[in-house]
Structure 1
Amino acid sequence: METKRPLLKLPKSADIPADRDLAVDAARVGCLLLVVLIHLLMVAAVATPTGIVFSKPLEDQTWFTEITWVGQIMPLFFILGGYTGIRSWRSTVARGETASSYVYGRLLRLLRPAVPFFAVMALLQVGGSALGIPGYILDGITGGVGTPLWFLAAFLLAQCAVPFTSRLHEQHRWRALVLLGAAIIIIDMITALTGISAIAWANFLFVWLFVQQLGFFLLDGSLARLRGRPGGIAWLLAIIAVSYLLLTLGVLAGWYSPNMLANQNPPRGALALLGVAQLAAFQLVAPLLRRAMRARALQAVVFIVGSRAMSVYLWHLPVIVVLTGILLLMPKVFQIPGTAFWWITRLPAYLLALTLVLLLATPLARFESIPAKYRTGTPAALPLAAAVLLTFTAAFLVTVAGLLLPTAVFGITATTVALLLLRSRPAAAATRL
């Protein structure tokens, strides 16, 4: 049975498994830090005589759309999640455990950090309403900070499918990827032909499964072998070029928005093409990342952020919003976005926000480890499936409708019930999570 690790104890080099690719860890943390930076640049508020005006300064830049073709890195998140997911699943199988055991462990690691987040957001909405805070202010706050919850819904869905999709990968490999790609294209075509945007939500399943499936090839070394062949680097560059060419054609045809962030919810095939390009790009830079990760200082940064990644992801926007609120009490020069002064102060603001969210995430990181009471046995199939459905529904409703009073209250109710379902299980042999 796996024991809980101390929150601040850094691993020794000897403790790092030989088969662990530190380039994957570095890339995951790098993506997370980039997400924090992007969100910092997309939050601003100015006090006016008529009220508080919220804005997204980064989106107002003339070059914003173009930069999203590189800055939309969520596909890479799922690729790396696919890598770690199938690696964990194969370890589960090697220990003689079941798919239920795997899903149980994955669900706990995503569900437990979400419970305090939903609790605080529900309390903010209910308490704020009771105190007479205008609804548009409450909705502006919780609606904004709740946007990352789409990831919880999508990642939970994809990770719970790993026992099935890994079998597809082992039996069919490229054909499974082609099948998922075909499903994405069909959904995109139907959406384009009918103009019914709701149909595109079907790709909430297919797009993220496709991108996660790319991570399976990363673990199996398919891209590494390609890179090692004569002309392999040229082939990887060609994959990137072709992916972006197809993406450009999709945008010109009107299938996809030129703003890659706009293609995220509901997901479009543009993200699958970005995923292919990002997989090839990661394979190009992976040797550099591995060499960089030999430095203990960088290992420490990656471990500190990575060991509390879900807490950092969920809580960085609340921290940014609080800092933005404090600016409302300061002179106007600190508030007005897009000015030279505003851009100059973004670096110290980023470092401050990152420091505060890491401090906040340190006690919250306990929710990312599994307490002893959850580490013996696995719930029966029905309560486990119900817990997955409740957690997914709570996060997906926020994705579609926003984190408002009804979805916040439903979220804390659903996730609490899900946790209670997971605590009720038959006696069984110890389950390693």
Structure 2
Amino acid sequence: MSAPSHESVRPDLSGRDLTLDLARVMCVMFVIVVHLLQVGIGPGPDGTLVASRPAEAQPWFAAATWIGQVMPLFFVVGGFASASGWASWTRRGGDAAGFIRTRTLRLAQPALPLFVFFAVVLVVATLIGAPPELVSAAAVGAGSPLWFLAAYLICQALVPVMVRLHASAPRATLVVLLAGVIVVDAARFATGITELGLLNLLLVWPLVQQFGFWYRDGWFDRRYPLTLLAIAAAGYLLLWPLTALGPYAESMLFNLNPPTLPLVVLGIAQACLLRLARPALTRLMQVRVVQGFVLLMGTRLMTVYLWHLPVILMVTGLSLLIPGAAPTPASAAWWWTRPVMFVVVLGVVFALSLFLVRFEKLGTLGSAPTAVVVGIAWVCAFVPPFAVMEWFLGLWIAVGGAVLLAVAVALLRGRRVRAAQPSVVSEA
């Protein structure tokens, strides 16, 4: 399943739509809840530890993903933030290479310590002879949210181009992207070659991001509430023939990678519902405690998103060492302990963020790299999460990913030259 946003929260909140900050934080909190319901580790029939996915075994799971799949909303809100950031950047004389540099850094820097952590853990697990099946299952689960980095890196790199297309031909841009999504899906399902669907990384998420541009332009503001409700309802109704009669899975989780047309439908429906909920969200953000929590989490939301699954696995592992603290997955006691686990996991992730939040801050950068260097660094940042998305997290992907992300960060931060004026990067 910005997903979670890498946007920093400024002290000056005038002119800022705080409902979008609330939406981002709520989405990340919801992702944590979903993953808490999907991760089950406990003794198997022979007494050995096995990993399971309790929520997916439930008959209501597929239907629940029509509401619970919030990643399209991430990209809608991210589109709004990206368009605003690009406008601010260009007003200050910034160019596309500089924009992509800072946006790539905001994703690569928080990801670097995570890949280093994965590399160390998997090396140690290999050396001590940990059960390969359990290690593999844990690694696959812990790395599953990393697809977002690959998708969002693509969207951020395309912002300068997509904003210009939105300004010059907004409707045509939507139509062309939508047609491309349909063609790619048709080719994928007609040939049975799943890898063809990867082309939709260049179409589905940029298209959903465009909805965020329209949201920023006020298109949703100018629609009557009944119109927005009708569009949202039509979107959810369209999911029925797409999944029941069409080739798409009923579960929106299985439509995620590679991304497919139902996510576009969810994106427009969720954008309408977000605008409908804006008055209620505005009132909620007037509550001081809520606003404080949202603004605090907003400064470390990328860290929370990236680290929550490893923390879930670590907390679950520790609970297995405490007699009676780890109910059998999918048992009644296991379901009832999920709220407690949520509080514990959120607390541990927040404690970790006190040390890791520095990776979300750009600070003062060195000399600006050339556009070619920015492109090379972008590729170095893109390859690790894409590799995890395609081949799952393993020892060599973790080690190689840590190396590539370190190279990307070093290239993007630039060389500090004492004689030169240090470049000051806007928090756009």
Q: Same fold (TM over 0.5)?
A: yes
CA contact (8 A) 2:327 2:333 kept: no
CA contact (8 A) 2:188 2:197 kept: yes
Q: Structure 1 residue runs of 4+, over 3 Å off?
A: 330-333, 423-431
Match status 1:27 vs 2:23: yes
Residue 282 of structure 1 is matched in structure 2 by: 274
Q: 1:338 to 1:100 in 2, by over 3 A?
A: same
* Structure 1 counterpart of 2:187, from 190, 213, 216: 190
Q: Distance in 2 between matches of 1:339 and 1:134?
A: 25
Q: Distance in 2 between matches of 1:169 and 1:423?
A: 30
CA contact (8 A) 1:211 1:272 kept: yes
Map 1:191-206 to 2 at 5 A.
191-206=188-203
Q: Distance in 2 between matches of 1:67 and 1:137?
A: 28
Q: Look up the SS of the partner of 1:148 in the other structure.
A: helix
Match status 1:161 vs 2:158: yes
CA contact (8 A) 2:40 2:51 kept: yes
The one-letter amino acid of 1:23's match is: T
Q: Distance in 2 between matches of 1:84 and 1:321?
A: 32
Q: Look up the SS of the partner of 1:224 in the other structure.
A: coil
CA contact (8 A) 2:384 2:400 kept: yes
Residue 410 of structure 2 is matched in structure 1 by: 420
Q: What residue ranges of structure 2 are gaps of 5+ in the alignment?
A: 1-7
CA contact (8 A) 1:100 1:378 kept: no
Match status 1:324 vs 2:297: no
Q: Distance in 2 between matches of 1:430 and 1:307?
A: 19
The one-letter amino acid of 1:139's match is: S
Match status 1:431 vs 2:425: yes
Q: Distance in 2 between matches of 1:236 and 1:310?
A: 30
CA contact (8 A) 2:114 2:306 kept: yes
Residue 53 of structure 1 is matched in structure 2 by: 50
Residue 70 of structure 1 is matched in structure 2 by: 67
Q: Distance in 2 between matches of 1:147 and 1:203?
A: 19
Q: CA deviation at 1:10?
A: 9.3
CA contact (8 A) 2:119 2:399 kept: yes
Residue 313 of structure 1 is matched in structure 2 by: 305
Q: Distance in 1 between matches of 2:172 and 2:154?
A: 21
CA contact (8 A) 2:235 2:269 kept: yes
Map 1:231-250 to 2 at 5 A.
232-250=224-242
Task: Give per-residue Cα distances to partners, 1:322-355, cap 9 Å, x unaligned.
Answer: 1111232234673312222112111111111111
Q: CA deviation at 1:430?
A: 3.3
Q: CA deviation at 1:243?
A: 1.1
Q: Look up the SS of the partner of 1:54 in the other structure.
A: strand
CA contact (8 A) 2:43 2:328 kept: no
Q: CA deviation at 1:270?
A: 0.6
Q: CA deviation at 1:50?
A: 5.0
Q: 1:281 to 1:335 in 2, by over 3 A?
A: same
The one-letter amino acid of 1:21's match is: D
The one-letter amino acid of 2:414's match is: S
Q: Distance in 2 between matches of 1:198 and 1:36?
A: 28
Residue 6 of structure 1 is matched in structure 2 by: none
Match status 1:304 vs 2:296: yes
Q: Look up the SS of the partner of 2:51 in the other structure.
A: strand
Q: Look up the SS of the partner of 1:93 in the other structure.
A: helix
Map 1:83-102 to 2 at 5 A.
83-102=80-99
Map 1:34-183 to 2 at 5 A.
34-48=30-44, 49=46, 51-183=48-180
CA contact (8 A) 1:377 1:431 kept: no
Identity between Structure 1 and Structure 2 (%): 39
CA contact (8 A) 1:378 1:431 kept: no
The one-letter amino acid of 1:380's match is: T
Q: Distance in 2 between matches of 1:181 and 1:332?
A: 52
Q: CA deviation at 1:18?
A: 2.2
Q: Look up the SS of the partner of 1:222 in the other structure.
A: coil
Q: Look up the SS of the partner of 2:59 in the other structure.
A: coil
Residue 380 of structure 1 is matched in structure 2 by: 370
Map 1:401-416 to 2 at 5 A.
401-416=391-406
Q: Look up the SS of the partner of 2:144 in the other structure.
A: coil
CA contact (8 A) 2:153 2:382 kept: yes
Q: Look up the SS of the partner of 2:15 in the other structure.
A: coil
Q: Distance in 2 between matches of 1:257 and 1:166?
A: 32
The one-letter amino acid of 1:104's match is: R
Q: Distance in 2 between matches of 1:25 and 1:423?
A: 27
Q: Look up the SS of the partner of 1:18 in the other structure.
A: coil
CA contact (8 A) 1:29 1:302 kept: yes
Residue 294 of structure 1 is matched in structure 2 by: 286
Residue 386 of structure 2 is matched in structure 1 by: 396
Q: Distance in 2 between matches of 1:329 and 1:314?
A: 25
Task: Give per-residue Cα distances to partners, 1:153-201, cap 9 Å, x unaligned.
Answer: 1011101110000000000112111111110011111112112111111
Number of residue pairs aligned between Structure 1 and Structure 2: 415
What is the TM-score with the length of structure 1 in the denominator?
A: 0.92
Bigger Cα displacement from structure 2, 292-301 vs 112-121:
292-301
Match status 1:18 vs 2:8: no
Q: CA deviation at 1:44?
A: 1.1
CA RMSD in angstroms comes to 1.7
Q: Distance in 1 between matches of 2:321 and 2:393?
A: 26
Q: 1:125 to 1:164 in 2, by over 3 A?
A: same
CA contact (8 A) 1:45 1:335 kept: no
Q: Distance in 1 between matches of 2:200 and 2:47?
A: 41
Residue 5 of structure 1 is matched in structure 2 by: none
Q: Look up the SS of the partner of 2:230 in the other structure.
A: helix
* Structure 2 counterpart of 1:370, from 353, 362, 368: 362
* Structure 2 counterpart of 1:255, from 247, 253, 277: 247
* Structure 2 counterpart of 1:342, from 334, 337, 345: 334
The one-letter amino acid of 1:270's match is: P
Bigger Cα displacement from structure 2, 382-391 vs 419-428:
419-428
Q: What residue ranges of structure 1 are gaps of 5+ in the alignment?
A: 1-8, 227-231
Q: CA deviation at 1:131?
A: 1.6
Residue 352 of structure 1 is matched in structure 2 by: 344
Task: Give per-residue Cα distances to partners, 1:353-374, cap 9 Å, x unaligned.
Answer: 11111111121111000132x2
Task: Give per-residue Cα distances to partners, 1:87-132, cap 9 Å, x unaligned.
Answer: 0000001001111111111011101001100001011111211122
Task: Give per-residue Cα distances to partners, 1:241-288, cap 9 Å, x unaligned.
Answer: 211222211112232100011000111111000001001000100121
